[in-house]
Every structure is written in C-alpha cells, then in structure tokens.
Amino acid sequence: MPLEETLSALTDLVRQGKVRYIGVSNFTGWQLMKALSVSEIKGFERFVSLQPQYSLVERNIEREVLPACREEGLGVIPWSPLGGGFLSGKYRRGEEPPEDSRIAGASDGMEEAWARRAVGRNWRTLDVIDEISSETGKSYAQIALNWLLRQEGVTAPIIGARRLDQLEDNLGATGWELSEEQVTRLSDVSAIEDVYPYRFIREMQRV
C-alpha cells in the first residue's frame, strides 16, 4: 500500500477519535523521514514514536534511526532490550542455549537466532556485564536495561518477561544508575563497526 494511503487512513482514525496517536515500528531512517515529510506536506497526522530493536547486542539504529528520532522529537520504545534473552546471563560460551530458552527455539532467520547472538563482540559484552554485576550487585538484565535507559532519545524499553520473577527482576533496572565509567565500558565493548559514510563524515568534520 502506498505510504500516502496508509498515512491518510491513520489520520482519519485519529481525527475520528478512534486513535489518539500513531507510531511506527522497524523503519529505516530514510523511511521514517519520508513518512514525516509526507505528513507535513499533505497535512496528515505525524508519527510520534518509533518501536525499534535496540539493546547492547543490537545497536544499528544508532547509525541513522536514533539520530532521526532525536532530531524530529519521536519517542523511542525499543523492543527486545535484552536481545531475546541473551543479556539475561543464562547463556555460556561453548554451550548450546538452554532447551527451554527463546533463543534455542529461534530459527536462523530470526533476529535472536543463536548464530547472530553467539558472536565474539556479544560474549565480550557479557564479560563486562559480569564485571559490573559484581561491582553493583545488580543482575545482568538490570544492567543491560539501565544502560538502555541512559541512551539519549530512548523513552522506555518494552520488556518481554514470561514469568513473574523475570518481571520483578526487570523492574529492578530503575531507581539506580550505572556510573558514567560503567556506561562507557558497556558502550565501548558493544560498539558497532565504524563504517562509511559515517566514518568519512566524522573525519571530514574534524578537518
């Protein structure tokens, strides 16, 4: 369906009082900016939030999507803030994922597929989370969620707890803060690859 038709239909729902606000999920940066431009030009309702995948093991929205949301004032509500459970602390190097885990049941094409999660950068990230857990007494999940809450532009993560104890643990991510040094350690170890054109633009800005 053409973007204009979708935005027109959503606008009708808002103006009929059936929907208060509209948001979008899993858009690229250019798709988001196109939608906002069409809304402005055509007088349609504007997206007010974006629901992307974002966590210490999936940070690619930092290239375009997150900066666009910050620039345009959209709320960011990340899904899979624990990387499908990978950041919960239940997974170990050299071992298959627990049979009853979400990742164990993920097919190769899914975002939380074991082949995507069990890579060197992610294991190194867990190593740092383990260190910070010892320093703070907080769980892996609480540390991962607290880091996410510290990222500029993030409104609130969508937690996917399946049990009450998981929910209670996730809620313990609030009411305290990682130190700046701990945030930096987590950000550095989980950093995404520096690629063109972002690397080039930054270097030209320095010049």
The tokens of 36 are what? 């906002």
Structural domains present in the chain: 52-206 (3.20.20.100)
pLDDT along the chain (207 residues), means of 10: 93 97 97 98 98 98 97 97 94 88 88 92 98 98 98 95 91 97 98 93 87
> Long-range contacts made by residues 197-205, C-beta under 8 angstroms, separation at least 24?
198/63
| Cα 30 to Cα 174: distance, rounded to the nearest angstrom | 33
pLDDT of 94 reads 87
Cβ atoms of 65 and 74 closer than 8 Å? no
Q: What is the pLDDT of residues 177-206, one digit of tens each?
A: 999 999 999 999 999 999 999 999 989 988
Per-residue exposure over 61-88, b if at least 16 CB sit within 10 Å of its own CB, e if not: bebebbebbeeeebbbbbbbbbbbbbbb
Largest CA distance in the chain: 56
